[in-house]
Structure 1
Amino acid sequence: MPEISDSELARLREEAERLETGRLFFARPWQFLRSSPSIETLPPIGDTEVAFAGRSNVGKSSLINALTGQSGLARTSNTPGRTQELNFFTPGPGLMLVDMPGYGYAEAPKPLVDSWNRLIRDYLRGRVSLRRVYVLIDARHGLKANDLETLDLLDSSAVSYQIVLTKADKLKPGGIERVVAETAAAVARRPAAHPTIIATSSEKGAGLDRLRAEIAALAA
């Protein structure tokens, strides 16, 4: 068995420390803070905010519940378009997770869809405490037209974002590596995109430790 170099050993120790910091950060008790249907009802600016965006039924609420280890924290539903406001969750001072309304739900009345979209645009463009948006993409389907429109908005708003693939456990062996590579290539030239793609499964727990570490580092 080949020996591990000092530099590689240091890298492994650093990564283990990052993952442990993320685990401890999310082990705290989380609570629902508020729902904001408009910019005027947002919480006061102060704590670091990390938002989750994605198409309806991509699994935003399930991912938040899995990250925090609290199955009933964010409301999940089989009905697309259930999240209609910005929902804020916090473990205390320092960080808020934001569950954003899902996009791409064609069955909702147009005035309601327009209202959601306006809320999202105003929030992304004017929230100085927003450190990063995690754009959730269903690993089975990859980037769709509505996703690309959201990435365009984030780029034009100069909001840092990172792609998180959901439902990675639904792919056949080897499939997730292909989707990760394709997605990374698709966002490589986008100015506000983080280059690392994180593949997750809320059901199996895959990738959650990496995502917890990323978020904890932003809140540090």
Structure 2
Amino acid sequence: MEAKDDATRAALIEAGRLLFARPCQFFYASQRIDQLPPVGLPEIALCGRSNVGKSSLVNALTGQNALARVSNTPGRTKQLNFFDLGERLTIVDMPGYGYAQASKSVKADWQGLMFDFLRGRPTLRRVFLLLDARIETKPADHAAMKLLDEAAVGFQIVLTKADDAKPWWLAKRQEEAEALARKHVAAHPLVLTTSSQTGAGIPELRAEITTLAAA
């Protein structure tokens, strides 16, 4: 059974590699819910606090250094960005949340856009909620998980920037993330740990995403 599981995992890793070897390109951006592109391919979305590394993760997954714009200014992404992955899947880069210097009105607009998108998008298969492995889970992260529960959208926790965390701290964060997943009805039980810098966990995340793509 274990050998079969190993073979299955290896097959998924290879399927993920092949999927993300396909061309991936930006094709749409939306700042309002009435500007969304028509539904089509299955969609997965990346969601997280500003500066959690969403754009870096998109680039690492696709092997394209400049597909998603990486900014040193937290909160720069203020719209839903849509990427077509080889006509098999749409990747949605969602606006970052929890940026301290953003105005209250902008924060409310972002939260409203996220909730409306999450609640009303029939092709959305899963949200990958990114948490920074280097720091503790913030109130804004807990609020996002509550939002996902309320929107009844399945989500999966992905720890980012693992290369910059001490081993003992990373193990603690992994345990905490798994405990958080158990507390939320919409959460997937498997927590993934990644580094866009070293590539750690990227094949496993690709494999997980592959299960959600069109055949």
Cα deviation, 1:169-197, whole Å, max 9, x if unaligned, reads 11123432221112111221211000111
Counterparts of 2:106 and 2:165 in 1: how far apart (Å)?
34
Q: So what's the TM-score if we normalise by structure 1?
A: 0.94
Q: Indicate whether 1:73 and 2:67 are aligned.
A: yes
- 1:41 corresponds, among 35, 39, 42, to 35
Find the counterpart in structure 2 of residue 178 from structure 1.
Answer: 172
Work out the number of aligned pairs and report it. Answer: 214
Q: Indicate whether 1:84 and 2:78 are aligned.
A: yes
Q: Indicate whether 1:218 and 2:180 are aligned.
A: no
Q: Which moved more, 1:114-123 or 1:147-156?
A: 114-123
Question: Structure 2 regions of 5+ residues with no counterpart?
Answer: none
When the two chains are superposed, the root-mean-square deviation of aligned CA atoms in Å is: 1.1
The one-letter code matched in structure 2 to 1:37 is Q
Query: What SS does the aligned partner of 1:93 have?
Result: coil
Find the counterpart in structure 2 of residue 124 from structure 1.
Answer: 118
Q: Which moved more, 1:66-75 or 1:172-181?
A: 172-181
Q: Aligned-pair distance for 1:156?
A: 1.0
The percent of aligned pairs where both chains have the same amino acid is: 54
Find the counterpart in structure 1 of residue 191 from structure 2.
Answer: 197
Counterparts of 2:183 and 2:113 in 1: how far apart (Å)?
27
* Partners of 2:31 and 2:78 within 8 A in 1: yes
Q: So what's the TM-score if we normalise by structure 2?
A: 0.96
The one-letter code matched in structure 2 to 1:135 is L
- 1:111 corresponds, among 80, 105, 112, to 105
* Partners of 2:45 and 2:94 within 8 A in 1: yes
Query: What SS does the aligned partner of 1:204 have?
Result: coil
Find the counterpart in structure 2 of residue 149 from structure 1.
Answer: 143
* Partners of 2:53 and 2:160 within 8 A in 1: yes
Q: Indicate whether 1:98 and 2:96 are aligned.
A: no
Query: What SS does the aligned partner of 2:167 have?
Result: coil
Find the counterpart in structure 1 of residue 153 from structure 2.
Answer: 159
Q: Which is higher, the Rg of structure 1 or of structure 2?
A: 1
Q: Aligned-pair distance for 1:56?
A: 0.4
The one-letter code matched in structure 1 to 2:172 is R
**What stretches of structure 1 move > 4 A for 4+ residues in a row?**
none
Counterparts of 1:94 and 1:39 in 2: how far apart (Å)?
23
Q: Aligned-pair distance for 1:160?
A: 0.2
Cα deviation, 1:61-120, whole Å, max 9, x if unaligned, reads 000000000010001101011100000011232311000000001212333222222111
Q: Aligned-pair distance for 1:142?
A: 3.0
Q: Which moved more, 1:178-187 or 1:148-157?
A: 178-187
Q: Indicate whether 1:207 and 2:201 are aligned.
A: yes
Find the counterpart in structure 2 of residue 64 from structure 1.
Answer: 58
Cα deviation, 1:116-153, whole Å, max 9, x if unaligned, reads 22111110111111110000000011321100001001
